[in-house]
Amino acid sequence: MNERNALVLKEFGADLEVTRFPGVRPGPGAVVADVSHAGVCGTDMHLQQGRMAIPLPVVLGHEAVGRVRELGAGVSTDATGAPLREGDLVSWASNIPCGSCFYCATEGEPSLCETRKVYGINQSCAQPPHLSGGWSEQIYLQPGSTIVKLPEGIRPQQVIALGCAGPTVVHAVLDIGRPREGDVVVVQGSGPVGMAAAMFAAVAGASKVIIVGGPANRLEVAREIGVGDVHLDIFTETDQQARLAKVLAETPDGRGADLVIEATGVPAAVAEGMDMTRRGGKYLVVGQYTDHGPTMLNPHHITRKQLRVLGSWAFSPRNHLDYVLSLPSLAARFDLDRLVTAYPLERANEALADMRAGRTLKPVLVSGDRS
């Protein structure tokens, strides 16, 4: 069987290495897909640097799109019940919850499952079937995977433009933050999670979306494709109090935003974001996916403002499905392609370096179908 290239992290802090693995055949309930587009996420940078405990070696890549190569016995439909055939373009949820633990079965919160399998993160490539991450020419989608055919007219590049930020924000903003029609929403951060948060807040009916982020190239893209109504560059407006004053001036009577969404990954942003939230408003923390340490905040402000401080962790397979199904409306409103910078699969280390330096918004690794 033909071998396939994959990018493997063998040592924390080191470059990824192109590694050859044998092609795979699907067992019962599994699917093998040829990966066409795989996103580079901020989490991948943290994984490479050893900021999360994961097994090594690992094929990174927890967000990807591809074409069905072969269906295992018993697989005939996608997650919507539509017929699934070889050659179909598909997207898949990065995680498989256990379905039986307290969080899955009792709380109905599969994103909190402590034993969920996550492609490209906690599935080592040391054992067969090896191809367990998206930064590869091929991936083995295990039984229980949530696989969704792309909606008519939607291209892989549009799906991967938001990557895991899309379903993460569906969970955070639509399930937990729940902006109301007419709300003023502030989004802290202008990376993929911030962009997705601004998009979904607008689609949910926000009357104004204020993006507080940077660098300037990201904000310029947001302006050009209609994401956000007000854009404040933290690298230009470096004084925190001045930033706060400008944000408050954009809210009714200067009272603050109805909903503020943290999508920065910077702990110090949390206290600033709570200052931007009106009394009785909601502050939603989405961006603190890896532990960057503690930060100072005054809990009196939570009490005095009667704030609802909310957290959101990752996403469930259902959130991924909802994200994919929302793409026709998102693509009709926003030029998702503008977010993407494409790299050949073998240049994954360059893509990581460019993301780390802020030169790109959404690096995407591209590989053609190979027999």
Contacts of 189 by beta carbon, 8 Å cutoff, 6+ apart? 197, 212, 213, 262, 263, 264, 265, 269, 287
Q: Which pLDDT score, from 0 to 100, does residue 304 have? A: 97
Q: Which pLDDT score, from 0 to 100, does residue 290 have? A: 86
Among residues of the chain, what percentage have pLDDT more than 90? Answer: 96
Q: Which pLDDT score, from 0 to 100, does residue 37 have? A: 98
Kindly give the residue spans of alpha helices, DSSP state H, lying in 177-310.
192-203, 216-224, 240-249, 269-276, 300-305
**Model's pTM, two decimal places?**
0.95
Between CA 38 and CA 41 the distance in angstroms is: 10
C-beta separation of 1 from 23 below 8 A? yes
How are the residues of the chain apportioned to helix, strand and coil, as percentages rounded to the nearest 5?
30, 25, 45
pLDDT at 17 over 50: yes
Q: Which pLDDT score, from 0 to 100, does residue 85 have? A: 98
pLDDT in tens, 117-143: 999 999 999 999 999 999 999 999 999
C-beta separation of 363 from 355 below 8 A? yes
CATH entry, 178-311, from 3.40.50.720, 3.40.50.300, 3.40.50.2000, 3.40.50.450: 3.40.50.720
Q: Could you identify the residue written with the tokens 């009916």?
A: 205
Residue 310 is which amino acid? L
pLDDT at 64 over 90: yes
pLDDT at 194 over 70: yes
Mean pLDDT, residues 110-121? 97
Mean pLDDT, residues 58-74? 98
List of E strands, the chain? 3-9, 17-22, 31-39, 58-59, 64-71, 89-92, 95-96, 117-118, 138-141, 147-149, 184-188, 208-213, 230-233, 257-262, 277-285, 308-311, 340-344, 362-366
Query: Domain coordinates of the chain in residue numbers?
Result: 3-163+315-366, 178-311
Residues paired with residue 343 on neighbouring β-strands, in sequence order: 365
Residue of 356, 352, 290 whose CA lies nearest to 135: 352
Q: What does the DSSP 8-state code read for residue 258?
A: E
Q: What does the DSSP 8-state code read for residue 136?
A: B
What are the φ and ψ backbone dihedral angles of 91, each rounded to 5 degrees?
Answer: -120, 155
Among residues of the chain, what percentage have pLDDT more than 70? Answer: 99
pLDDT confidence tier of residue 371, bands split at 50, 70 and 90: very low
R_g of the chain, CA atoms, integer Å:
20
Fold identical between 3-163+315-366 and 178-311?
A: no
pLDDT at 370 over 90: no
Mean pLDDT, residues 231-254? 98
**Residues for the chain: how many in total?**
371
Q: Which pLDDT score, from 0 to 100, does residue 2 have? A: 87
Q: Cβ of 89: how many Cβ atoms within 10 Å?
A: 18
List, as one string, the DSSP characters of 158-172.
HHHTTTTHHHHHIII
What are the φ and ψ backbone dihedral angles of 25, each rounded to 5 degrees?
Answer: -115, 145
Per-residue b/e over 310-323, b at no fewer than 16 CB within 10 Å?
A: bebebbbbbbbbbb
C-beta separation of 292 from 267 below 8 A? yes
Mean pLDDT, residues 151-180? 98
Average pLDDT value over all residues in the chain: 96
Mean pLDDT, residues 151-167? 97
Determine the CATH number of domain 3-163+315-366: 3.90.180.10
**Whole-number Cα distances in Å, 260 to 78, 98, 228, 273, 332:** 35, 32, 13, 6, 25
Q: Cβ of 130: how many Cβ atoms within 10 Å?
A: 24
Q: Which pLDDT score, from 0 to 100, does residue 1 have? A: 61
pLDDT in tens, 277-320: 999 999 999 999 988 999 999 999 999 999 999 999 999 999 99
Mean pLDDT, residues 155-184? 98
Q: Could you identify the residue written with the tokens 């109805």?
A: 258
